[in-house]
Amino acid sequence: MKRHKTFPALIGAHNFKIIVEENRRLHEQLLEAIDKQHQEMSRALQLKELNSILKRELHEAKIEACQLRENIRLDSNWGEKA
């Protein structure tokens, strides 16, 4: 029965060590990228919430401005009719 060589034996111990080190380095880069992605997603959710608040405040300010314009118009018309 023929015995199969292990992967390190096929590529050589030195090359295997290089591959293992590269794998470790790439794994570390992946973990850092995932962490950064999670941070950016959290930031995006915070910005979405802030945007929603600002839109609501803008809408309320527009309504208030329209009401003030209407009050000013009514006040100016009242003086003309009296």
For residue 78, the one-letter residue type is: W
**Confidence at 15, pLDDT banded by 50, 70, 90:** confident
For residue 33, the one-letter residue type is: A
Give the pLDDT mean for 30-48. Answer: 98
Tens digits of residue pLDDT in 18-33: 999 999 999 999 999 9
For residue 13, the one-letter residue type is: A
pLDDT of 71 above 60: yes
Q: What is the pTM of this model?
A: 0.60
Alpha-carbon distance 72 to 77, whole Å? Answer: 9
Q: Could you tell me if residue 4 is left (phi over 0), alpha (psi between -120 and 50 degrees) or otherwise beta?
A: beta
Domain map of the chain by residue range? 7-81
pLDDT of 80 above 70: no
Tokens of 35: 């962490």
Higher per-residue confidence, 65 vs 6: 65
